[in-house]
A and B are shown apart, each in its own frame.
Chain A
């Protein structure tokens, strides 16, 4: 089977790019896989394109596009292509176009042309704007699948409306969590096999193993309000005071850095907290720790928790929507505390800091849990889902033939 993943910008460094490259690598073992990028703003992609996976950019973006125009290398759009670009504007809600700048006229025209000419069997969109274009434009011979990386509840109302209207025209959709599947069921009714829960897999490589020796608690993710690191600092101070040798390491970068520095000082944690910045080897860093802490308001999936599990590091997390409660089994591979209860988070961290045997037991369970997210398993689930969708030739594609929208 030839599978094409369409990404807004496969040259960038976001979480979607990383996880799509990852699953593309896994699928490439038994399938032909191509990554199609609406935009290309630099010569080489930030992440290495996995071996055996093709990369096809559709349009230049940013300074690259300006340079091409200045050098007269940017061909103008034909009247037909301009019409497609205008139609795309009506298909993709403004909120989505504002959020992602890759839906330029050359890019959407390029996608339209790609859909008409590709020899792929399956095309997978990776964000709402792309999924909506696939729903409207994918020819019937193509199996069009919408992959969602963001929970339905996190989308703007106008994006949700467009999803409700157009997603049924897709041959299938995938979400990361059971919680998101329930949200879709509420919006679209029971769609049976049309939608599958397919979590992000762990990259297929040898990872180290925590020794549970180091007095280190790790946290990872962008320094942004949604991660609520000030709450984690407050929770950690319960540990810091009683155990001066314990450290908290926060991996990530972002706009909240200065605010976090102030909070570290206010909480008297200067000697015990390190803002580690970004790392290319997150599992290598997590393995140096003995615990992972999660203090998010919302955790769409919880990849860091799974990465921690894969190196034998149990997690302590708020029971926040959506991912943590589907990954962490309270008392087995980590601790879930009442959502947004900072004292409970501090007490749970302290409990595991002080109980090494329990921590080691949970670390062993965490390793077992990580196996559920192994590449082989998730790739097989993807293959089963895609073959199922091909066999069903579901009502999505019939819909697309009988009720063309804005073609």
Chain B
């Protein structure tokens, strides 16, 4: 078993009869090639805060300069030997991933297991955002709920949903309710259909949440789980609305960055 808690402490449970070195054991990270980041492949970062009690090892990672990309987790011993840490953990604990959203942070660390069974650490820069849990499309509105991610706790019980027409000037807003870190908002679709600009075949509306006390605006998206590329992996319904001269079809979708947007097209046109 291995996991990372919300304080960026890596916890490992080692197998009873594993071939890993006994006694004093250290851990280090080694940069994997291929991601083109500023640290060269092979760069090593020793982990200084390692504690072992029985089969449980904890390693504090919060202060380490871990650049974006994939890192192998290595065993090290006093003689300077080292080796990859093998794991049977599948590398996904959804409950931990959601707990990890609850603190402000700019860097996200995740443990995973590669195809050959080695323990990897993936580091990525992150901005606060609004993690989408559910999207419900009704005939005249879209209802979205989720939780705030990587923000301080909100000061207020109300926020604002903002829909911005991509590359155009349309902007629509709707109130958002907050309950602790959970949010819920309803965006009526009639104004969106009325603002449709037929000269642009695809009218994308990008969704943002403004919450007092959390700083910047939060983009809506789905990134807490391990499903990357939801654009092709999910299927949403569409609603048909009267957009003045033409009928307008509106459909929620995930962008190539797994952000949530709405797509509006004229009925009968090709997507």
Contacts and interface: CB of A to CB of B under 8 A. Distances in A.
Contacts of B87: 208
A274 B113 CA distance: 21
B160 interface: no
Interface stretch (B4-12, B90-98, B162-170): B90-98
Given A244-B134, A265-B237, A276 B227 contact: yes
Interface string A56-91: 000000000000000000000000000000000000
A275 B227 contact: no
Interface residues of B, number: 28
A208 B235 contact: no
A43 interface: no
SS of B interface (majority) = loop
Given A264-B235, A276-B233, A281 B227 contact: no
A97 B268 CA distance: 43
Interface of A: 205-211, 213-216, 244, 249, 260-262, 264-265, 270-271, 273-277, 280-281, 284, 287-288, 311
A122 B94 CA distance: 50
Contact of B89 (A211, A216, A271, A277): A211
Contact of A214 (B94, B135, B136): B94
Interface string B105-131: 000000001011100000000000000
Nearest to A263: B235
B92 A288 contact: yes
Contacts of A280: 115
Interface of B: 1, 86-95, 113, 115-117, 133-136, 226-227, 230, 232-237
Contacts of B227: 249, 274, 276
Nearest to A285: B90
A42 B85 CA distance: 37
A275 B235 CA distance: 9
Contacts of B134: 244, 271
Contacts of A262: 235
A207 B233 CA distance: 25
B115 A275 contact: no
A208 B93 contact: no
B74 to A, nearest CB: 18
A276 B225 CA distance: 13
A209 to B, nearest CB: 5
Nearest to B222: A271
Nearest to B233: A274
B260 to A, nearest CB: 11
Contacts of B89: 208-209, 211
B94 A215 contact: yes
B235 A261 contact: yes
B117 A277 contact: no
Contacts of A311: 90
A120 B13 CA distance: 49
Nearest to A269: B235
A182 B25 CA distance: 57
B90 A274 contact: no
